[in-house]
């Protein structure tokens, strides 16, 4: 029995040696089909795609940072982009979009100057079979776009209203700086007013920024002369707030709470001063909006699954949490 066991053991050893000798490429790519399949030839990757970005004005820091975020994400993919600044001119924006159509872009990221007047351009893009991702301000004819990505503007106003009611539990007199033709600003003001309703606040004056905010400082100065007892000012965006702050500084007033929507580095820098009237901001994130836009575009063009409507989170920033977000850039 011992001899038979020894013979069987020797036979097993010889079998292993024989099999090992037949397999010449152990541990090499030839021996590992999975490793072979994961090595892709760069020339076989997807073709380069051309994108377009059209916004109301690049002088607005929000649209500049949104553009930078999109460009960075596309550069990581190796895709070029045509960037066009409409300079708050609907006719110029229409001309620039036609330029993109002529250039045969694969997709357009669009922030409209005017949600209604952009309809003709949207129809032209649809006719050219060029998909559109609508950003920030919703167009009137949403059916002509493929996706909408915007900030939760109403919540941005609500968080400002929440803070004001905490700081002024007995209510007070308010000034609202708005832009009635701007859908995003309207949503912010709506959210704010919803939160302060029936809380003892009286809106004593509304200042129409008129789209460019250039007259806000003069308007606020006039209000201060006519209505000296003001407790707070709610601004539809940061650029409005900066003009309000200048008017308050000129008048020597630091007792009025100022709120806005945006969370730009300029406003956060002012907020960092403990003596500043800047009480807080409903913060947006153009960086995250840009990243989401490119991710959505990639899925759309690849025929994948994507969300047709995305609301990018907004949140409140004040001196209590300012250090978390910093003052040298957007969040």
Residue 192 lies in a domain: yes
The full DSSP string for 186-201 is HHHHHHHHHHHTTTTE
Range of the domain at 239: 153-285+318-325
Residue 253's Cβ-count burial label (10 Å; 0-12, 13-18, 19+) is middle
- Are 180 and 264 in a shared domain? yes
Query: Of 145, 162, 180, which one is at a domain's C-terminal end?
Result: 145
Residue 220 sits in the same domain as residue 137: no
Say whether both 119 and 183 belong to one domain.
Answer: no
Q: What angle do CA 296, 142, 96 make, to 5 degrees?
A: 75
Q: Which helix (H) or strand (E) holds 21?
A: helix 2-22
Q: Are residues 124 and 186 in the same domain?
A: no
Residues 96 and 124 in one domain: yes
55 has which bridge partners? 85
Tell which residue, 185, 183, 179, has the closest CA to residue 157.
185
The secondary structure element, H or E, covering residue 174 is strand 172-178
Contact 185, 236 (CB under 8 A): yes
202 plus 237 within the same structural domain: yes
3-state secondary structure of 17: helix
Residue 91: give its domain's CATH number. 3.40.50.2300
From first to last of its 331 residues, the chain has per-residue pLDDT tens of 433 343 333 333 333 333 334 333 322 222 222 223 333 333 335 689 999 999 999 999 999 999 999 999 999 999 999 999 999 999 999 999 999 999 999 999 999 999 999 999 999 999 999 999 999 999 999 999 999 999 999 999 999 999 999 999 999 999 999 998 888 999 999 999 999 999 999 999 999 997 555 689 999 999 999 999 999 999 999 999 999 999 999 999 999 999 999 999 999 999 999 999 999 999 999 999 999 999 999 999 999 999 999 999 999 999 999 999 999 999 9
Position 266 in a domain: yes
Q: What is the pLDDT of residue 54?
A: 98
Q: Is residue 213 situated within a structural domain?
A: yes
Q: Give the Cα separation of 318 and 252 in Å (integer).
A: 22
pLDDT given at position 211:
56
| Statement to judge: residues 259 and 159 lie in one domain | yes
pLDDT recorded at residue 30: 29
**Is residue 68 domain-resident?**
yes
- Residue 260, class by beta-carbon neighbours within 10 Å (0-12 exposed, 13-18 middle, 19+ buried)? buried
Judge if 195 and 244 occupy the same domain: yes
- Confirm whether 111 is domain-assigned: yes
Do residue 280 and residue 173 come from a single domain? yes
| Tokens (6 digits) for 312 | 């990018």
Q: Which residue has the tokens 């003052």?
A: 327
Domain final position from 145, 169, 204: 145
| Residue 41 domain-assigned (yes or no) | no
Same domain for 133 and 168, yes or no, is: no
Residues 260 and 281 in one domain: yes
My answer on whether 159 and 119 are in the same domain is no
User: Is residue 331 a part of any domain in this protein?
Assistant: no
| Residue owning tokens 């020339």 | 43
pLDDT of residue 182: 86
Q: Which of 112, 127, 145 is the last residue of a domain?
A: 145
Query: What's the total number of domains in the chain?
Result: 2
């Amino acid at each position: 029995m011992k001899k038979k066991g020894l013979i069987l053991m020797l036979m097993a050893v010889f079998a292993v040696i024989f099999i090992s000798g037949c397999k010449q490429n152990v541990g090499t790519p030839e021996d590992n089909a999975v490793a072979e399949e994961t090595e892709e030839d760069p020339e076989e990757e997807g073709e380069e795609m051309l994108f377009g970005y059209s916004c109301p004005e690049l002088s607005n820091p929000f649209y500049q940072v949104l553009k930078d975020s999109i460009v960075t994400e596309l550069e990581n993919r190796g895709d070029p982009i045509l960037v066009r600044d409409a300079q708050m001119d609907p006719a110029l924006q229409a001309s620039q979009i036609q330029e993109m159509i002529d250039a045969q872009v694969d997709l357009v990221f669009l922030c409209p100057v005017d949600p209604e007047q952009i309809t003709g351009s949207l129809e032209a893009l649809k006719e050219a079979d060029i998909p559109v991702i609508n950003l920030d301000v919703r167009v009137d004819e949403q059916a002509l776009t493929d996706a909408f990505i915007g900030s939760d503007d109403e919540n941005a106003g609500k968080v400002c209203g929440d803070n004001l009611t905490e700081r002024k539990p007995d209510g007070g007199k308010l000034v609202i700086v708005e832009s009635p033709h701007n859908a995003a600003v309207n949503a912010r003001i709506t959210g704010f007013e919803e939160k302060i309703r029936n809380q003892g606040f009286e809106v004593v004056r509304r200042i129409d920024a008129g789209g460019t905010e250039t007259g806000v400082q003069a308007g606020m100065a006039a209000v201060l002369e006519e209505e000296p007892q003001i407790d707070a000012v709610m601004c539809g965006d940061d650029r409005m707030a900066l003009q309000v702050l200048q008017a308050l500084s000129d008048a020597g007033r630091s007792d009025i709470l100022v709120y806005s929507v945006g969370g730009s580095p300029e406003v956060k820098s002012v907020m960092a001063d403990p003596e500043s009237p800047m009480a807080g901001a409903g913060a947006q994130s153009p960086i995250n909006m840009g990243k989401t836009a490119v991710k959505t575009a990639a899925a759309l063009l690849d025929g994948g699954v994507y969300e047709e409507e995305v609301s990018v989170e907004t949140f409140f920033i004040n001196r209590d949490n300012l250090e978390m977000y910093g003052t040298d850039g957007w969040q």
